[in-house]
Amino acid sequence: MKRPSLFVWLAAWLVFSFSLTAQDVEHGKKIFQQNCSACHKLGTRLVGPDLVGVTQRRDLDWIIRFVQNSQELIKSGDEIAVKLFEEFNKVPMPPQPLSEQDIKDVLAYIEAGGTSAAKAAQGSPAGMSAEALKKAAEAELNKVYKIVVGLMLLLIVFLLLAVGHLRRQAWDVEHPGEPYPGFDLKGWMAFCSRYASPAAMVVILGGVGTLVLAVVLYILAQDIGLQQGYAPDQPVKFSHELHAGQLSIDCQYCHTGVEKAKNANIPSVNICMNCHKYVTEGPKYGTKEIAKVRAAAEKGEPIKWVRVHNLPEHAYFSHAQHVKAGGIECQTCHGPVETMEKVRQHATLEMKWCIDCHKRTDVKFDNPYYKATFREHYDEIKAHNKIKVADLGGLDCARCHY
């Protein structure tokens, strides 16, 4: 019998080595973030074991069986499954409604090294720290104040020149041939009392006062409705620094509507209980805060979270349009949430802030949404490169107000 050639063995080895990379890594990333990231973090242990290198430690069929129903495998007496169950404090892994292909895609994502938490865009107002934004706002106000003071000084100079011109004309009429004495405070006062009627003085002073009041009201009105830095106390002291930062739980795991709806959704108690059915004590507050979550679940009552980010009712904003279609990271608008113990409003969320973002943000035509929407003109648009959101109607009033 003829033995397989070296080429055949090499080809088989290559097929085996790259069998995982042929899977859909991007799809695996999405599943991992939604289903796995609450208990698993690549590179370290969390609620469950570190999954880096799992395909070298475990057989593929065993991994699929364990993911789909770990409790069934444990009850069957599988030695490895039982050992894992006991090693991780007998915290059961919930059955995952995933197909074999889904699990292979997740494994491909893990073997590809995963990805680090998304970072906010650098060098733009949307990605600036709260302190930097505050300083930028103060700088803008200082500019306004300087402009106002400058206008007031110009107005005063204009009035003085106008009065001086009128006084000189009056002098020439009353004292023909005599040299004009120039600036004389008593003479100026006498001229004003003689020629400027009380009504005229009231109009002039009233006009100046009205202008000053209008400028002051304009400056104060710029802050109406703005809640930058707003960080209300919540009924449960939930730490994004712990969950999104240290544990790297993906935003979409809790805020389920962010890629498919207008609102990102505040997580229900059921989502919290996916983990806190088993995790009963936290590193900072012990059992106190988690007990509130478990009590709400037992009573079937929602947790009354306080909304942090509020837009006017006449302004339309869709999370799906920005996150799914636009590929915008959460931190671009919400700031470095993964570092916040208590969530605060990072940006001003004023119209100018949105318009500036639309003017500088490139449209990402590589995503499936735009490929489908602009199918007929896709190649033509792509050739132009770096098309801004503003070029596709991002500055149209009706986009956000209708």
Please check whether residues 326 and 373 belong to one and the same domain: no
Average pLDDT over residues 74-83: 88
Please check whether residues 284 and 362 belong to one and the same domain: no
Query: Is 117 a member of any domain?
Result: no
Average pLDDT over residues 193-209: 70
Say how many CA atoms lie within 13 Å of 11 toward its Cβ.
5
Predicted confidence (pLDDT) at residue 59 exceeds the cutoff of 80: yes
Please say whether the beta carbons of 117 and 252 come within 8 A: no
Please check whether residues 196 and 277 belong to one and the same domain: no
Average pLDDT over residues 162-188: 73
- Single out the residue of 318, 239, 244 nearest to residue 286, CA to CA: 239
Q: What is the rounded distance in angstroms from the CA atom of residue 77 to the CA atom of residue 59?
A: 17
Query: Is 184 a member of any domain?
Result: yes
pLDDT at position 362 is 84
Please check whether residues 199 and 255 belong to one and the same domain: no
Average pLDDT over residues 345-354: 90
Counted domains in the chain = 4
Specify the pTM.
Answer: 0.53
pLDDT at position 298 is 94
Please give the DSSP secondary-structure letter assigned to residue 31.
H
- What pLDDT band is residue 83 in, cutting at 50, 70 and 90? confident
141: containing domain: 131-215
Q: List pLDDT tens digits, range 122-148.
A: 333 444 445 555 566 666 667 777 777
pLDDT at position 184 is 63
Q: What is the rounded distance in angstroms from the CA atom of residue 34 to the CA atom of residue 92?
A: 18
Query: Is 364 a member of any domain?
Result: yes
Query: Is 118 a member of any domain?
Result: no
Query: Is 163 a member of any domain?
Result: yes
What mean pLDDT is reported for the chain?
Answer: 78
Please check whether residues 264 and 343 belong to one and the same domain: yes
Please check whether residues 321 and 243 belong to one and the same domain: yes
Pull the structure tokens for residue 260: 């498919």
Please check whether residues 189 and 162 belong to one and the same domain: yes
| pLDDT above 70 as % of the chain | 78
- Single out the residue of 66, 139, 146 nearest to residue 106, CA to CA: 66
Instruction: Report which of residues 112 and 183 the model is more confident about.
Output: 112
Please check whether residues 370 and 325 belong to one and the same domain: no
pLDDT at position 234 is 93
Please check whether residues 239 and 142 belong to one and the same domain: no
Query: Is 2 a member of any domain?
Result: no
Boundary-marking domain end, from 156, 181, 215: 215
**Helix, strand or coil, per DSSP, at residue 195:** helix
Please check whether residues 241 and 336 belong to one and the same domain: yes
Query: Is 266 a member of any domain?
Result: yes
Q: Which CATH number fits the domain that encloses residue 31? A: 1.10.760.10
- What pLDDT band is residue 344 in, cutting at 50, 70 and 90? very high
| pLDDT above 90 as % of the chain | 19
User: Exposed e or buried b for every residue in 214-244, given b needs 16+ CB within 10 A?
Assistant: ebeeeeeebeeeeebeeeeeeebebbbbbbb
Angle between helices 60-68 and 100-111 (to 10 degrees): 110
Please report, as a single letter, which amino acid is at residue 364: K
Q: List pLDDT tens digits, range 93-128.
A: 878 888 888 888 888 888 887 643 333 333 334 444
Please check whether residues 345 and 236 belong to one and the same domain: yes
Say how many CA atoms lie within 13 Å of 367 toward its Cβ.
13
pLDDT at position 320 is 92
Boundary-marking domain end, from 180, 215, 250: 215
Q: List pLDDT tens digits, range 265-305.
A: 889 999 999 999 889 888 888 899 999 999 999 999 999 99
Instruction: Report which of residues 99 and 374 the model is more confident about.
Output: 99
pLDDT at position 4 is 46
Query: Is 209 a member of any domain?
Result: yes
pLDDT at position 355 is 92
Predicted confidence (pLDDT) at residue 209 exceeds the cutoff of 90: no
Please check whether residues 325 and 373 belong to one and the same domain: no
CB atoms within 10 A of CB 296: 19
Angle between helices 288-299 and 269-276 (to 10 degrees): 120
